[in-house]
Amino acid sequence: MWEKLQFDITQMDPERIRVEVYFKVGELVTELLGVLYYEKAKKSFNRKPVGLNAWACVDAKIEGLYTVNESITPPQLISHCHQLIKDGGY
């Protein structure tokens, strides 16, 4: 199923990234399934470490994902997008 999904990563500013998830219907036709927003997690901590200097998903609108494939869960999608961001060098 992952091969039918297309991810468009846009860095909105140095601290925020938007990931748009599309379903490839044909060569030129794609359907928007959802949008995930990531922000840089805090760089230091007082009591608990929370993803030091990493990207954290702060908002997601992925209702369209369930119309295409119910087997992909939100945690799987968030993890996959996080890996794409990491691999992209952001």
CB-facing half-sphere around the CA of 4: CA atoms within 13 A: 10
**Of 14-18, 46-50, 56-60, 74-78, which range is least confident?**
46-50
**79 vs 1, 7, 46, 47, CA distance in Å?**
15, 13, 26, 25
Phi, psi of 87 (to 5 degrees): -70, -30
Tokens representing 12 are 């909105």
Tokens representing 72 are 């992909």
Whole-number percent of the chain with pLDDT over 90: 47
Phi, psi of 15 (to 5 degrees): -110, 0
In the chain, what are the domain boundaries?
A: 2-87
| pLDDT value of residue 43 | 64
pLDDT at residue 51 tops 60: no
**Mean pLDDT over residues 33-50, rounded?**
76
**Mean pLDDT over residues 37-49, rounded?**
72
The helices-and-strands tally (H runs, E runs) of the chain is 2, 4
Residue type, 27: E
